[in-house]
Structures are given as structure tokens and as C-alpha cells.
Amino acid sequence: MNAVILSCSNLAVYVKAAQETCGTDYPVVFLDQTNHVEPSRMRKHIIDTIAGLPEEYDTILVSMGYCGGSWQDISSSKRMVLPRVDGCVSLVMTTSDQFNPCTRQMGHMYVFGGESGGFSIKGIYDALVKERGEEMAGSEFEALFEGYRNVDIIDTGVYDCYDLDFVETVQADADRIHADIDYIPGSNLLLEKLVSGRWDRQFLVLEPGKPVTQSAIFDD
């Protein structure tokens, strides 16, 4: 297998950790996580990136989830292997070999550390203020986060989720939206299985030309 890993940049440290654990050294091409703002934008980014991959690779190992339909109907001239999860949160929340494509709960926001690209609730607020002005930003911000009551830190073992600076940053974000902070278990299991070739029913293996579909990801 002459494989390349196609990964959301949000999972950079997780891909590195999985390869170190499993003794693999596949080249990695990163997708800019900022494109998650719109699934259509991420979809175009994925298509363009796949089209630019060198011909020498015969297998694409996808380090991300379905992500709001970003992968719908995408195909390649190479074999593709994707975790059968709805997004990166469910990917790092998976702790067993049991198929469960969506592990998130309503009203919960999830943080899983590592190189998260500087995501913060405060950063979103500051961007709204800059774009809309303080008065309009306040109402839009409240509407955006009114449904969240918990901020959960996912303990994957890949990063120090008890680091004081990290926890203080998460706590400040939680306070800003009047949410409680908590810890929940996670792991790097799916990416370790991805890079080591342990592709069971938690993965979608597509031969060249076969498209990704929602039913193939989610249907048991």
C-alpha cells in the first residue's frame, strides 16, 4: 500500500501520535480547518486537494469525519478509507471497537486540545464585534451559544488536558456562555486503526471511483 493521509489540520497532533504508536510514517496532507465554517467550502477544498495528490499514491487514509456532508458524493481514482463518524469530535470520543457514528450530545460543546488552530469562544465574540459592532455582536453571540450548557474537555491521552493554562482558557470560554466545564473520556483509537490497516465496520473502504454517501457512513 502506497498511502497518503488526508487530514483536517485540527487533528495534526493526533495523526502524529497515531503514526508514532503504530510505527507508520505515511506522508500527511492537511486540509485547512477554517473551511469547516461551510460544508460546501470544505467540500470544494477536499475535491481540489484530492485532485492535486501525486499519482504515485494508491490509497487515501482520511483523518476526519463526514463533517456536515463535506464528503458527500466525493470519489477518487485512488482507494479511500474513512472513519464512519459524523465529525472530528465523535472521532476522538470513540473509545471502543463498537460502531457509533455520532457520540455528541445536544447542549454540549467539546474541546479536545492539541493544535486546535486557536479556536476559542472569545475569539468568535471578538470577530463578531469587529464585523458587526459591539451592540449587534452581543445579540448574535447570545443566539449562537444559547443552546449550550456544558463545555466538555475530551481526555484522549494525546495532550495534557489538565495543563493549568489550557484549563483556564477553557474555563474562561465556558464562563462567557454561562456553561459548566467537565471532563469526558476519549482516545486516539480510530486513527491508530486507520494508519495500521485495521479497517473493520468502523471504516468505509471505497475502491477507486466509488463515491462517499451519507447512508454508507451512518447506516448500521
The pLDDT of residue 116: 46
The pLDDT of residue 51: 96
Instruction: Please tell me the distance from the alpha carbon of residue 57 to that of residue 54, in angstroms, as a whole number.
Output: 6
Per mean pLDDT, which range of 35-44, 71-80, 95-104, 208-217 is the poorest? 35-44
Instruction: Please tell me the distance from the alpha carbon of residue 90 to that of residue 101, in angstroms, as a whole number.
Output: 7
Q: What is the pLDDT of residues 111-161, one digit of tens each?
A: 887 654 445 788 778 878 888 888 888 888 888 888 999 999 999 999 999
Q: How far apart are the first and last CA of the chain?
A: 28
Residue keyed to cell 464562563: 175
Check pLDDT > 90 for residue 203: yes
Q: Sign of the C-alpha dihedral, residues 187, 188, 194, 195?
A: negative
The pLDDT of residue 119: 58
203-206 vs 79-83, strand pairing mode:
antiparallel
- Structural domain boundaries in the chain: 3-84+188-218, 108-185
Check pLDDT > 70 for residue 65: yes
Can you tell me the mean pLDDT for 12-21? 96
Average pLDDT across the chain, whole number: 92
Give percent helix, percent strand, percent coil of the chain, each to the nearest 5: 40, 20, 40
The pLDDT of residue 185: 96
Instruction: Please tell me the distance from the alpha carbon of residue 144 to that of residue 27, in angstroms, as a whole number.
Output: 37
Instruction: Please tell me the distance from the alpha carbon of residue 102 to that of residue 219, in angstroms, as a whole number.
Output: 11
pLDDT band at 34 (very low <50, low <70, confident <90, very high): confident
The pLDDT of residue 134: 84
Check pLDDT > 70 for residue 187: yes
Strands (E), 17-160: 28-31, 59-63, 79-83, 108-111, 150-155
The pLDDT of residue 118: 47
Per mean pLDDT, which range of 17-26, 82-91, 106-115, 190-199 is the poorest? 106-115
Q: One-letter amino acid identity for 116?
A: S
pLDDT band at 184 (very low <50, low <70, confident <90, very high): very high
Q: What is the largest CA-CA distance in the chain?
A: 56
Above pLDDT 70, what percent of the chain?
Answer: 96
Q: What is the pTM of this model?
A: 0.89
Can you tell me the mean pLDDT for 160-167? 91
The pLDDT of residue 33: 82
The pLDDT of residue 129: 86
Instruction: Please tell me the distance from the alpha carbon of residue 55 to that of residue 95, in angstroms, as a whole number.
Output: 35
Can you tell me the mean pLDDT for 17-34? 95
Contact 2, 57 (CB under 8 A): yes
